[in-house]
Structure 1
Amino acid sequence: MLTVLRLALVPFFFVSLFLPGPTWRWVALGVFAVGSFTDYLDGELARRYGLITDFGKIADPIADKALTGAALVGLSILQELPWWVTVVILGRELGVTLLRFWVIRHGVIPASYGGKVKTVLQMAAIVLYIVPGVPDIVRWTVMGAAVVVTVATGVDYVWRAVKLRQVARKARGE
């Protein structure tokens, strides 16, 4: 239910980001914060009560990427965030998603600590871009860190996927 709520919040967030005036920026921030919190809460509840479902395994990452993607694309359309940042982050997210499907028959690569750091940095950077009046140096510093960690964890994910496939092939005697 929380995943569906997060997906439903994406259009409201996106529209409020484009409405004029600082009040709407605060509304967009509130919607983004609620969406981000539902991601955290969803994961906690699923682990605590063993409510991990096939639907959740597919829908949760889609909802996360929809919220983050809407924020990055919206900020780029508004010319507040360079498009190359949006392309790098969303390219990595799409690439890792495709990689997951490529190796799924060999096993699942668990989320790494770096992946969690990446998510926190991306969310923090997006928040800093949504909030009116944050100095550019602060925004750029956090977004720069988010981009570096995003790329590094993407490379790490590729490395772990290749190793997983090699181990699976050896186990089958190939």
Structure 2
Amino acid sequence: MNLPNKLTVIRVVMIPFFVLFMLTNLAGEGSKFIALGIFCIASFTDFLDGYIARKNNLVTNFGKFMDPLADKLLVCSAMICLVEIGRLPAWIVIIIISREFIISGFRLVASDNGIVIAASYWGKFKTVSQMFMIIVLILNLNHSIFETVEIVLIYTSLVLTVLSLIDYIAKNKSVLFNGNI
């Protein structure tokens, strides 16, 4: 297993620790900051594994499949935690997670036909916007400027989620209609 794939696996392993600190007071007032630190490190591994894989020609089918899945697990776990603590409306998370299931379905059908659908730029923009949104929502800085930033990031993430879904469907409609690419 190459380094980018190890970083992807490490990101998945970090998720339960993030959730633990996000939803408990295990470290007192510091729990939120520990959760934030874990989330930021895990998010950085997303950038790092892709960079290393492309720079060193270490792109693998495992990475093409697992990297987006690891991102979905991290981001969806964080958003569910944010719903639980009242920082993010459930309806937004439902739309975002629904998009993830639809794309996973596309990838599964494509995989059955021997095709790996890599993440698109719209999908990458969506993931980055969601990660920034999550960081700001975890910080919860209680100032009117930051509340405005939170709202902008929430709706930017939502719009990019829908746009990336439309992009995937448009580019891969033959998977949906014909079962192949």
TM-score, normalising length: structure 1: 0.86
2:169 aligned partner: 158
Farther-moved stretch of structure 1 (100-109 vs 5-14): 100-109
1:108-123 pair list within 5 angstroms: 108-123=116-131
Identity of aligned residues (%): 36
Tell me which of 5, 8, 21 is aligned to 1:16: 21
Paired residue secondary structure (2:165): helix
Paired residue secondary structure (2:171): helix
1:25 paired to 2:32 = yes
Paired residue secondary structure (2:172): helix
Computed over aligned residues only, the root mean square deviation of the Cα atoms, in angstroms, reads: 2.4
Supply the distance in 2 between the matched residues of 1:76 and 1:147 (Cα, whole angstroms): 15
Structure 1 pair 9–114 and aligned structure 2 pair: CA distance change class (3 A): same
Tell me which of 94, 99, 102 is aligned to 1:92: 99
Q: Report the CA distance between 1:110 and its aligned residue.
A: 4.6
Unaligned runs of 5+ in 2: 1-5
Q: Is the 8 A contact 1:100 1:108 kept in 2?
A: yes
The residue type paired with residue 119 of structure 1 is T
1:124 paired to 2:124 = no
1:4 paired to 2:9 = yes
TM-score, normalising length: structure 2: 0.83
2:78 aligned partner: 71
Unaligned runs of 5+ in 1: none
Q: Report the CA distance between 1:168 and its aligned residue.
A: 9.6
The residue type paired with residue 158 of structure 2 is V
Q: Is the 8 A contact 1:75 1:81 kept in 2?
A: yes
Supply the distance in 1 between the matched residues of 2:65 and 2:115 (Cα, whole angstroms): 16
Q: Is the 8 A contact 1:10 1:67 kept in 2?
A: yes
Q: Is the 8 A contact 1:13 1:31 kept in 2?
A: yes
Q: Report the CA distance between 1:22 and its aligned residue.
A: 3.9
Farther-moved stretch of structure 1 (28-37 vs 53-62): 53-62
Supply the distance in 1 between the matched residues of 2:177 and 2:79 (Cα, whole angstroms): 35
Structure 1 pair 168–29 and aligned structure 2 pair: CA distance change class (3 A): closer
Q: Report the CA distance between 1:108 and its aligned residue.
A: 4.8
Structure 1 pair 61–77 and aligned structure 2 pair: CA distance change class (3 A): same
Structure 1 residue ranges (4+ consecutive) displaced by more than 6 angstroms after TM superposition: 164-169
